[in-house]
Amino acid sequence: MQNLARHPSFAEDLRAASMASCLAVRIFDSAEAQVSCSLSFSHESLLRETIQSNLPQLSRL
């Protein structure tokens, strides 16, 4: 599972999922979603690092 996190497409998939989520939220609440998406993308690398560092625990579930 850790190898998956290091795979280049993992980051691309994560970004695509984030964009899709933000787009869905933006449809319902434009102003809040724009702020949320801006914060989400500015912290994308932090999110990726958090997921990667927690993969060992997640794989045990």
Side chain identity at 55, as an amino acid letter? L
Dihedral (Cα; 46, 48, 20, 12), 10-degree rounding: 130
Provide the 8-state DSSP code for 4: H
In degrees rounded to 5, what are phi and psi of residue 7? -70, 135
Range of the domain at 17: 2-60
How many domains does the chain contain in total? 1
pLDDT digits (tens, 9 = 90+) for 9-51: 777 777 777 777 766 665 556 655 556 666 555 567 777 777 7
Model pTM score: 0.31
Structure tokens at 49: 């690092």
